[in-house]
Amino acid sequence: MKQLIKLSTILLLWSSLVFAENYSQEKTAILVKPESPEFTVQLKSNATTGYEWFLRSYDNHVITPVSHHYQRPTSQLVGAPGFEVWTFRVKAEGFTVPQVTYIRFVYARPWEAQSQAGQQVEFKVTTVSK
């Protein structure tokens, strides 16, 4: 039993180091540690409406966008929402001293004016120094 608990603990710690931490519109405070510099933001999105999430602003001295893709809905219902998944990495310089920076997204149709944009969401990214 003790070996099972040890193995479970090791697997849990390993998975937290290997896999990026996930954040969403409901979880906007991001804490990033040097051991796990990548994190993922999942934003609800419905491709059938023409709206998509755009990266509005971020500090490129601290954060680098790594990837972006659309995750289809698991439901077969017409118009069911999926997610846009954004992965970021904090640069090594971001861990020199603790820092706070922000990532802003806007949900908009690419052909419409900025004044017609839909939702906006802001993530507060806090880094912990080495």
Q: CATH number of the domain that 35 lies in?
A: 2.60.40.2020
Whether residue 3 is contained in a domain is answered as no
The whole-number pLDDT of residue 115 equals 65
Whether residue 35 is contained in a domain is answered as yes
Total number of domains in the chain: 1
Whether residue 10 is contained in a domain is answered as no
**Core vs surface per residue 41-78: b (16+ CB within 10 A) or e:** bbbbbeeeeebbbeebebeeebbeeeeeeeeebeeeee
Q: Return the top range by mean pLDDT from 48-57, 72-81, 115-124.
A: 48-57
- pTM equals 0.77
Domain hosting residue 51, numbered range? 20-127
Q: Over 60: is that where the pLDDT of 109 sits?
A: yes
Whether residue 7 is contained in a domain is answered as no
